[in-house]
Amino acid sequence: MKKMRRSSRLVDMTQYLLSHPYTLIPLTYFADQYGAAKSSISEDLVIVKELFENRGIGMLKTVAGAAGGVQYIPIMKKEDALSVIKDICETLSASERLLPGGYLYMADFLGNPRVLSQVGKIFASVFAEKEIDVIMTVETKGIPLAYATAHYLNVPVVIVRRDTKITEGSVVSINYVSGSSKRIQTMSLARRVMPENARVLIIDDFMKAGGTAQGMIDLLGEFHAEVVGVGIFVETAEIEEKLVHDYVSLARITDVDSREKKVYVEPGNWFEK
């Protein structure tokens, strides 16, 4: 390949790293791509590393040895994440978002690419130190959040269904009790999508009592999978004893005044740690 100027090389290298999170990239790849010596590539990566850390973009992890290289780990600083979530909480506190039963209208958020990218990166930052093989969510509203998080962690997504689909082949189904309504419901997961002994991160958009999250945990037991974390976008604080205790929430509904049509949303439990 024709040799690039250093300025162009830095831009192209940065873009490549950002689009390949958690991917170990050999220095020889960049050296061959840009027609540059490994020593020059190493110097470039020092510049990129400083930029990523100073701007709160993430960090570059260097792996030594013949099979080594560089790996981009997306990390959002906690203070930056708090600023993002405070803006989200303010928007979610609008009275017109309040739905019957204490739920919030969030469809516009879960369809906004910018918001999804920010929330996905926050979840990726929360669970950055976990070894994750798969992200699991339940249809339907949690799907965009799961994929946004999976993009930054560079892992696949599996979707738990309420109803079985013939196109997914054989499935494992369980009955679970909804924590808020106490109704018995069913969830299913195709056998082919979940390898046994996988390390799984559960992502969901909303949690009241935690019945759905506990159902997913129980379902993963049928696959001998390990739950390494549970991430919830918005939880309610009205239920003191939840079925799931070890989870991370980014936002929390602290009070709902149905008569005055007021809802109060604040940052979730991750920001208290």
Written in H, E and C, the secondary structure of 177-197 is ECCCCCCEEEEEEEHHHCCCC
Cβ(71)–Cβ(58) under 8 Å?
no
Q: Is the pLDDT of residue 205 over 70?
A: yes
pLDDT level of residue 183 (50, 70, 90 thresholds): confident
Helices (H), 154-224: 211-221
Question: 99 burial class (0-12, 13-18, 19+ CB within 10 angstroms)?
Answer: exposed
Q: What is the mean pLDDT of residues 6-13?
A: 94
Angle between helices 38-55 and 27-34 (to 10 degrees): 110
DSSP state of 25: B
Q: Is the pLDDT of residue 168 over 60?
A: yes
Q: Which CATH number fits domain 6-74: 3.40.50.970, 3.40.50.300, 3.30.70.20, 1.10.10.10?
A: 1.10.10.10
If one counts every other C-beta atom within 10 angstroms of the C-beta of residue 40, the result is 15
Q: What are phi and psi of 172, to 5 degrees?
A: -110, 125
Q: Is the pLDDT of residue 272 over 70?
A: yes
Cβ(202)–Cβ(175) under 8 Å?
no
Q: Which CATH number fits domain 78-272: 3.40.309.10, 3.90.1150.10, 3.40.50.2020, 3.40.720.10?
A: 3.40.50.2020
CA dihedral defined by 98, 99, 103, 105, rounded to 10 degrees? -70
Convert the pLDDT of each residue in 67-108 to its tens digit: 779 999 999 999 999 999 999 999 999 988 888 776 788 888
Residue 19 in 3-state DSSP? coil
β-bridge pairing 199-207 and 248-257: unpaired
All residues at 6 or more sequence positions from 8 whose CB lies less than 8 Å from its CB, including other chains = none
Q: Is the pLDDT of residue 188 over 80?
A: yes
* Residue-range domain boundaries for the chain: 6-74, 78-272
DSSP state of 237: S
Cβ(215)–Cβ(176) under 8 Å?
yes
Q: What is the mean pLDDT of residues 210-225?
A: 94
Cβ(207)–Cβ(251) under 8 Å?
no
**101: region left, alpha or beta (phi > 0 left; psi from -120 to 50 alpha):** left
Task: Sheet with 134-138: list strands edge to edge.
Answer: 157-160, 134-138, 199-207, 226-236, 248-257, 262-267
All residues at 6 or more sequence positions from 246 whose CB lies less than 8 Å from its CB, including other chains = 230
β-bridge pairing 69-74 and 199-207: unpaired
pLDDT mean across residues, the chain = 91
